Structure 1
Amino acid sequence: MSSAPRGKWLAALCLLPFAVFFFAFQIAPLLWVAVNSLHGADGWSLENFSKIFASKFYLQAIKHSLQVAFWSSIFGLLIAVLGSYSLHQVDSRLRDFVSAFTTMTSNFAGVPLAFAFIILLGFNGAFTLLLKQLGWIEDFNIYSKTGLILIYTYFQIPLGVLLLYPAFDALREDWRESAALLGAGPWQFWRHIGLPVLTPALLGTFVILLANALGAYATVYALTTGNFNIMPIRIAALVAGDIVLNPSMASALAILLVGLMALITMVHQWLLRRSYHVTR
């Protein structure tokens, strides 16, 4: 046997543990959830999905999940773009410090994050009382949808910065200088050069932030003790049996969540192909 086929077999053998791990912890659970979602009271049917789309309660959970995920991803992306661009303009020591701090804060989520926001912005939080005394706010509810968007945006920003910061390395300084020599202003540079180059990274980061927000569970549960109606809370409640035990309905909700992410990913790929053809 020649060295080339032997190398391919060796590479395939090294890939085997990863393939087994991927199937056992990704494909197999997804298949089980998909099959279980079709199990109704009278056998195999779409009964669970019909109940979801006929229930205002579950439709509200889908609506709240999409709203919180979308707006927190938009705000997080905008702030991350400004932060990533600013990091490229500062001193290297400050840049290294901020990058390290961003890496650390990207893992600050879940129960600790919810507890921190309750202390700062709860009904009797330090910032809430201070802002009320200054007369800047009259009422603020961190446990509402607006409060959740604020918290989600907070933990979206570090992840967005980590994903977008390398993308700005693609913008070469000589491009800006050449555009300036040809009479292009900053707006023209970003419109015709900067944004087209950054578009794939921006779209990819938005999709990742959206998935991160749609699947978030610990933060919203710790903050609202499961009283805010979003899809991860409903799935967990149906599995844990807090009110009623119905794993088949939970599987149907999980499949809808996967379907939403698959749809978003397909739109993302279509936009990427379109931006590629436009910029060519």
Structure 2
Amino acid sequence: MIFKKEKFIMLLGFIPFVFFIINFLILPLIFIFINSFLVEGKGMSIENYKTAFTNPFYFQSIQNSIWISLMSSFFGILIACLGGYSISRLSPKLRSRFLMLSNMTSNFAGVPLAFAFMILLGSSGVLPILLHKIGFDLSKVFTLYSGTGLILVYIYFQIPLGILLMYPAFDTITEDCIHAATLLGASKIQFWTKIGIPLLYPSILGTFSILFANAMGAYATVYALTTGSYNVLPIRIGALVSGDMFLNPNMASALAVILGSILIGATLLNERLLKYKGGESHE
């Protein structure tokens, strides 16, 4: 009887959580999905989805989002792996300090990050002015407000998050493991290709999918940096919902469903690759 009473009290504690999930996650998703098929004057239709993939402007936003997310995630995970391995080999005191720094910088995003890059690399930023004084015009090879500039900014906030996610994975690669491989005649390259990377493979894929989702959903940074002029999915969705002209919340719902589908597809592909790699390793 006492056990049932304690179980009942524990279940009561889940009520606020369930209420939050239903009202702020499930119901909005249902409404967005339904609204994505609504077309003014036509009722239910798939016209919004046709427009998203046939209209060059909307299709460009999908392409730009995927491209920037893939590139920033690739370079982010590459640097994060190197950083995570380096941190794992530090003394506990230095390790805790670097992790604290990574944790702090992972939250440095949005408007403050965009403003910091404007000061450093903007048209009138510190670095372009210093380079101009020595006769080098940075604007001829790099512009912060372009796709390349956005990738650079995205990489910056991807790296600390990637380090925090990848760092625990390097605990599986101990010094004893490296010494054992060396004693058996394996070179450093052979160790990483045959032992190290296969051990880190699940963590790399999982972290990459998180970084990809993190970049796909970024809004504040790109909006503050380009004032909404660069065409990516979150900017288009925001403009269709709260812009000054051409409001179309149903079209925004369709783009939001496409964005969610891309993220779900990336997650499913990640799980499929993990299962395939797991089955291959068992063989």
TM category, shorter:
over 0.9
1:250 is aligned, of 252, 263, 266, to 252
Matched, 1:188 2:187: no
Aligned to 2:26: 27
Aligned to 2:111: 111
1-structure distance, mates of 2:12, 2:187 = 55
Tell me, what secondary structure is at the counterpart of 2:108?
coil
Aligned to 2:221: 219
Aligned to 2:37: 38
With the length of structure 2 as denominator, give the TM-score of the two structures. Answer: 0.94
Shift of 1:185: 1.1
Count, aligned residues: 279
User: Structure 1, residues 29-48: CA drift from partner, whole Å, max 9, x if none?
Assistant: 11110011011121011111
2-structure distance, mates of 1:28, 1:216 = 23
Task: Decide whether aligned partners of structure 1 residues 8 and 179 sit closer, same or farther in structure 2, where only a CA change above 3 A counts.
Answer: farther
Shift of 1:7: 5.8
Aligned to 2:17: 18
Query: Which deviates further from its counterpart, 85-94 or 95-104?
Result: 85-94
1-structure distance, mates of 2:137, 2:271 = 42
Aligned to 1:274: 276
Asked if structure 1 preserves the Cα contact closer than 8 Å seen for 2:128 and 2:138, the reply is: no
Taking only aligned residues, the RMSD between alpha carbons, in angstroms, comes to 1.6
2-structure distance, mates of 1:226, 1:18 = 35
Ranges in structure 2 where 5+ consecutive residues have no aligned partner: none
Over the matched positions of the two proteins, sequence identity in percent amounts to 50
Matched, 1:237 2:236: no
Tell me, what secondary structure is at the counterpart of 1:19?
helix
Task: Decide whether aligned partners of structure 1 residues 136 and 180 sit closer, same or farther in structure 2, where only a CA change above 3 A counts.
Answer: farther
Aligned to 2:86: 86
With the length of structure 1 as denominator, give the TM-score of the two structures. Answer: 0.95
Task: Decide whether aligned partners of structure 1 residues 269 and 136 sit closer, same or farther in structure 2, where only a CA change above 3 A counts.
Answer: farther
Q: Which runs of structure 2 are paired with 1:119-158 in the superposition (5 Å)?
A: 119-134=119-134, 138-139=138-139, 140-158=142-160
Shift of 1:134: 4.4
1-structure distance, mates of 2:11, 2:275 = 31
